[in-house]
Structure 1
Amino acid sequence: MTFILYNVHVYRYSVFFSISMMTVGENVTMAKKRYVLVPPDDGWAYMVGIAMTINYIVIASFVPCLGIIFNDFFVELNMGSADILILNGVNALAISISSFLTGPLLKVISMRKLAFLSSTLLNLGVFCTVFVNTRNQLIMCQGLLQNFGVGMLYNVVSTSGNDYFLKKRFFVVNLSQAIAAVVAVLVPWAVNWTAETYGFRGTLILISAVSLQSFVASALMQPVKWHLKKVYVTPETTELLVVAQDQNTEVESIQCVEQLKLDSLSNEFPCVDINIDSLPTTCKGNELLLNTKNFFDWPFLKKFVRTCTCVGVPFNLNADVIFTIFVPQALYALNWTKVEVALAISLLSFGDIATRVFLTIGSTWLKNVGNHLIYIIGMAVDVLAKLVLMWSTNGTVSYVSLILIGCSRSILVVILPLVFSDVLPPEQYARGFGLSMLFYGLIALALGPAIGAVRDATNDYTIMFYILNSIMAAVTIAWSIELFHNRKAQKVVL
């Protein structure tokens, strides 16, 4: 009997020991498994998509209505075309500087706090504009304060969309901007009615109430690290890694655990941190300069500024904005009637909205084409359509050209954040986007007055449009060459 109890006792402990060893083995195996934390693409990401839509509506919907809102006030202050162009230049400069500062500020403040800060500046600028009585007050409140918040908020919104979405990024960005575009078509009618009923100050109060919704959107923009999904690196996750590779995103840039290194997912623009303590004593006198370079991530900016993505986008945006501003005047100069000009503007908006809807519906197929290629095609269509518009004397051909111009403009605006996503890792997105917007403001200050001077000297819109179209064509050719060279280099590496 004693012998039997002894054997049972030994067997029990042997089973316990075997199970323990199996558990330890499994834990060791699991510990050795490498995994990545990737953007959620669903769940709370959809709330961020709603926040993006709200902010796009607040940022862009009222911009085309500035002429309607301030028309009587401009007359009251005797502000001519030169004064309005100065205000437009101040707007662009404020947006560009604040967008550029967003990247460095994200080093010392969270994205959601920065969203609240930018929303505060935007709403404070709109509300203070209600009480302005002079030109300088208008420039300070509407030009500087409001647009400083707009530039920062636009960068934050684009960055949050880039952080929360990977596979669904193309679809969500297009959908949010398509909704904002539909709202932008309806807003001028509402603004025109409120301006006639309540005046421009009453209209600004209503706009201020709408702009307050940006605080709600900012509250929805929770830190992405709260919602990252853990995906183990196994043969089944190849699709995820391929998606990351297509986005030129290093696995480490999406919070890779265990410092996972994959040669196929290389980072194109590495950040180089400068350690002051490791420098020789003779170099520490330049500590302020080095700290400044480190704060703005100078090695990254120096490399990114050499690309068409950084420099080409600002030239395109400026050329398109100036063309859009002067299209009505140019058509009037060609003896178009008010009804025909109104129809032309409606066709531009129709092409814009139709393209946004198409981009949203066809997002699954279009993302395989490549954002850079789509953007280049949009630029090429824009150049050709504008040439046809300038050369054609047939009304139907002109109307078709206007629709195509609206389509291309939609591509240039909607695909813009995605173009930066393709070449910038998430931790560098805000800095790269901000640098490009800084160039946008500087180019606007230089190009706008120069184009205006050419128009005044020649008294001809055609020459001005040829210059703008030449700028767009030059960027299209240079960008096409760069894209071809990069793809060829990738094939050689593979």
Structure 2
Amino acid sequence: MAEKNAKKENEHVYPEGGYGWVIVFAIILLNTSLLTLIYCFGIIFRDEFKAMGITAAKTSFLLHLQSSLFCIVGFFGSPLLKKFQFRWVACLGALIWCTGIFLTSFANSYAALVVTISIMTGVGQGILMPATYLATNSYFKKRLTLAVSISTTGASIFSVFSPKMCDLLLANVGRRYTVLILFSISLLSFIGCFLLKPVKKTIDIDEMMELDSKNEQVSPNNDQSPHIYKETTTPKQKTETVISKIVNMFDLKLLKQVSYSVAVVSLSISFAAELNVILMMQFVLPELSDFNRTDVANIISVQFMFDIIGRLFIPGIFHCFGASPKWIYMGALLTATAARTLMVTYSHSHVAVNVAVCIIGVTKGLRAVYQSLIVPKLVPLDKFVAANGFQMFLTGTISLIIGPLIGAIHDSWNSYIPALHAASILSCACVIIWTIESIFNKQSSIPES
């Protein structure tokens, strides 16, 4: 009976709607107000970087340092979510992120941009985003795919217009005031933070009566109270090493689960490779196909339109068929590789490049949805913060290696073509690793005759 009551008390109740849709709206508002500077970085700074003689490796390092810090801080920040409500953790992240955007408007050197964009916005994002992940996973389980799809799609709707908006602002008010306007928009994020209300745990009448009966059993008037007092005041001393404390704090025992370990490694490598392509696309197109700034703004807007299709419509179709998030993610990686091959092969054809960018947009949307669903399928909710945190830490570490490496490949060959091929090889390697792991698990599950 006691085990049943304890299980009932620890069981998390998923609202599966209600205020959960307000949470979804809050996450849309957060992403919309804060991510524009990163999404449009190439449009805003490309000409300035070209005049300053900043290489592709340095540009890639700056952007990947931002994403790496986002991921690494997300890992070390996971204990914050165990002690404080995700609403207040999100507010702290938004404050640091907004300050970074504000200071970026006054930055006039590469070193200053590393501090404001890479470090400050990366740290802010690393604190804020895990709070939004936990908020979504606290309100949804059966409808988690739908909720994640809607929240990521809502942010992409504004992204369709943000490249063109930045292009017009740059032409009329210049880079500094363009970034200041983006800072003004970023202040809307605090509204989103305060909307992140935790789930209220309700206790029914039967539970209250059971709790009262438990209190009576351990009352001082009870005959067994001296015995109970003696046992509870003389616990057995346990020696805990520093390593065991770290393992327990971050729940690193999860790494013993092979499926989880393979998943986080594959997600980390593919995330770093695909992120490099997305972030550098605004630099790739002018070099590869002679696109000017307005052309780049237009095609990036179109890419975000197809990103929305990948986030909203296609997941709905896969959800009806009960498709596995892992296999959909793998399919997106292979499709993105095919699109990059098309872009490289027919780089002088604007039609082929536009088609390739649209396909990459669809796969970007699919990955954004399903990369958030793979880990939750492998771990229970009480382990989600730690599992997601370690994934972010590994992603950040690998991204900081892969990003500058791909940039260095560009600088060595003086072309983005081998750099794009390098990203494709890494993504395909992840597909192979996952396929081998799936085959091994399938064979292990076959009973011996």
Which is further off, 208-217 or 332-341?
Answer: 332-341
Answering whether residue 378 of structure 2 is matched by residue 423 of structure 1, we say: yes
Residues 260 and 378, structure 2, Cα contact 8 Å, conserved in 1: no
Deviation at 1:371, TM superposition (A): 1.4
Give the equivalent residue in structure 2 for 1:236: none
Residues 37 and 228, structure 1, Cα contact 8 Å, conserved in 2: no
Give distance in 2, aligned partners of 1:71 and 1:402: 19
Letter in 2 for 1:142: I
Give distance in 2, aligned partners of 1:195 and 1:486: 53
Secondary structure of the 2:82 match is coil
The TM-score, its normalising length taken from structure 1, stands at 0.73
Answering whether residue 195 of structure 2 is matched by residue 206 of structure 1, we say: no
Give the equivalent residue in structure 1 for 2:307: 352
Give distance in 2, aligned partners of 1:143 and 1:375: 27
Give the equivalent residue in structure 2 for 1:148: 123
Secondary structure of the 1:62 match is helix
Give distance in 2, aligned partners of 1:428 and 1:448: 30
Unpaired runs of at least 5, structure 2:
207-234
Secondary structure of the 2:180 match is helix
Residues 316 and 472, structure 1, Cα contact 8 Å, conserved in 2: yes
Secondary structure of the 1:222 match is coil
Give the equivalent residue in structure 1 for 2:144: 169
Give the equivalent residue in structure 1 for 2:405: 450
Alpha carbons of 1:73 and 1:327: their partners in 2 closer, same or farther (altered >3 Å)? closer
Give the equivalent residue in structure 2 for 1:312: 266
Deviation at 1:441, TM superposition (A): 2.0
Give the equivalent residue in structure 1 for 2:323: 369
Alpha carbons of 1:209 and 1:358: their partners in 2 closer, same or farther (altered >3 Å)? same
Letter in 2 for 1:413: A
Q: Deviations over 1:74-129 (max 9, x none)?
A: 47866444443332233123212211123222222222221121112112222233
Give distance in 1, aligned partners of 2:127 and 2:259: 20
The two structures, once aligned, show a CA RMSD in angstroms of 3.5
Letter in 1 for 2:369: V
Matches within 5 A, 1:461-472: 461-472=416-427
Give the equivalent residue in structure 1 for 2:21: 46
Secondary structure of the 1:106 match is helix
Deviation at 1:483, TM superposition (A): 3.3
Give distance in 2, aligned partners of 1:336 and 1:78: 19
Residues 311 and 368, structure 2, Cα contact 8 Å, conserved in 1: no
Give the equivalent residue in structure 1 for 2:338: 384
Deviation at 1:397, TM superposition (A): 5.5
The TM-score, its normalising length taken from structure 2, stands at 0.80
Give distance in 1, aligned partners of 2:163 and 2:6: 60
Letter in 2 for 1:377: G
Residues 55 and 411, structure 2, Cα contact 8 Å, conserved in 1: no
Give the equivalent residue in structure 2 for 1:246: none
Alpha carbons of 1:149 and 1:334: their partners in 2 closer, same or farther (altered >3 Å)? closer
Letter in 1 for 2:159: A
Alpha carbons of 1:91 and 1:278: their partners in 2 closer, same or farther (altered >3 Å)? farther
Alpha carbons of 1:132 and 1:229: their partners in 2 closer, same or farther (altered >3 Å)? farther
Give distance in 2, aligned partners of 1:340 and 1:106: 43
Deviation at 1:132, TM superposition (A): 3.5
Give distance in 2, aligned partners of 1:458 and 1:31: 65
Residues 354 and 407, structure 1, Cα contact 8 Å, conserved in 2: yes
Unpaired runs of at least 5, structure 1:
1-29, 233-276
Deviation at 1:336, TM superposition (A): 5.2
Letter in 1 for 2:395: Y
Deviation at 1:174, TM superposition (A): 0.6
Alpha carbons of 1:213 and 1:227: their partners in 2 closer, same or farther (altered >3 Å)? farther
Matches within 5 A, 1:191-230: 191-224=166-199, 226=200
Deviation at 1:426, TM superposition (A): 1.4
Alpha carbons of 1:405 and 1:462: their partners in 2 closer, same or farther (altered >3 Å)? same
Give the equivalent residue in structure 1 for 2:228: none
Alpha carbons of 1:111 and 1:405: their partners in 2 closer, same or farther (altered >3 Å)? same
Give distance in 2, aligned partners of 1:407 and 1:72: 28
Q: Deviations over 1:282-307 (max 9, x none)?
A: xx4x6444333322223224647962
Answering whether residue 240 of structure 2 is matched by residue 298 of structure 1, we say: no
Letter in 2 for 1:431: A
Give the equivalent residue in structure 1 for 2:396: 441
Letter in 1 for 2:327: L
Report how many aligned residue pairs link the two structures.
414
Q: Deviations over 1:28-67 (max 9, x none)?
A: xx99997954210121111111112112213433322123
Alpha carbons of 1:426 and 1:458: their partners in 2 closer, same or farther (altered >3 Å)? same
Answering whether residue 91 of structure 2 is matched by residue 116 of structure 1, we say: yes
Secondary structure of the 1:41 match is coil
% same residue: 23
Deviation at 1:361, TM superposition (A): 4.4
Give the equivalent residue in structure 2 for 1:187: 162
Alpha carbons of 1:193 and 1:208: their partners in 2 closer, same or farther (altered >3 Å)? same
1:99 pairs, out of 65, 74, 77, with 74
Matches within 5 A, 1:237-256: none
Secondary structure of the 2:17 match is coil
Secondary structure of the 1:421 match is coil
Structure of larger gyration radius: 1
Q: Deviations over 1:442-490 (max 9, x none)?
A: 2222222222333332334333322221111110121123234445656
Residues 49 and 172, structure 1, Cα contact 8 Å, conserved in 2: yes
Give distance in 1, aligned partners of 2:65 and 2:398: 12
Deviation at 1:165, TM superposition (A): 0.5
Give distance in 1, aligned partners of 2:308 and 2:40: 18
